[in-house]
Amino acid sequence: MSTRTTAADLESDMRKVSALVSLIAILLMAAGFMDMVATRQVTSFPGASALPVPQVLDMASIGNMWGLWAMSVGILLLALLPMLRVFLSLWFFARDKDWLDMGVSLIVFLELLSSLHLGG
């Protein structure tokens, strides 16, 4: 397989994944916003901020804050999209045994993970 075909395949796959994740995130944020407006949780702008990640992951603590939770999940999905793209390229290069590009992708992926863990 030529490098040109590989790059085109990778970009095509990334475009599809990005479009799907972005669509899901936008739908979640729109549904959450409509829920917050309908239940009168938004009385002024900017309104409530997004929930912290631990609270987003704890489904039991949502209670009557479904709208804010849905908006927060949408924001989280958009924030994780770059990491998902790097992971996809890492997987793609590993599958094609392109070790140099896989190594570079692995370094970038580890940097993203460490920045999330270290909060930087």
* Alpha-carbon torsion (103, 109, 113, 119), positive or negative: positive
- Map out the domains of the chain as residue ranges: 3-118
Residue 88 has pLDDT above 70, yes or no: yes
Q: How far is the C-alpha of 59 from the C-alpha of 41, rounded, in Å?
A: 19
Give the pLDDT score at 65: 82
- Residues ≥6 apart with Cβ < 8 Å to 65: 41, 51
Give the pLDDT score at 98: 86
Instruction: Quickly count: other Cβ atoms within 10 Å of residue 26's Cβ.
Output: 13
Give the pLDDT score at 45: 66
In whole numbers, what is the pLDDT of the chain averaged over residues? 83
pLDDT above 90 as % of the chain: 24
Give the pLDDT score at 44: 60
Q: How far is the C-alpha of 99 from the C-alpha of 28, rounded, in Å?
A: 38
> What token pair was written down for 112?
């993203």
Contact present, 39 and 92 (Cβ < 8 Å): no
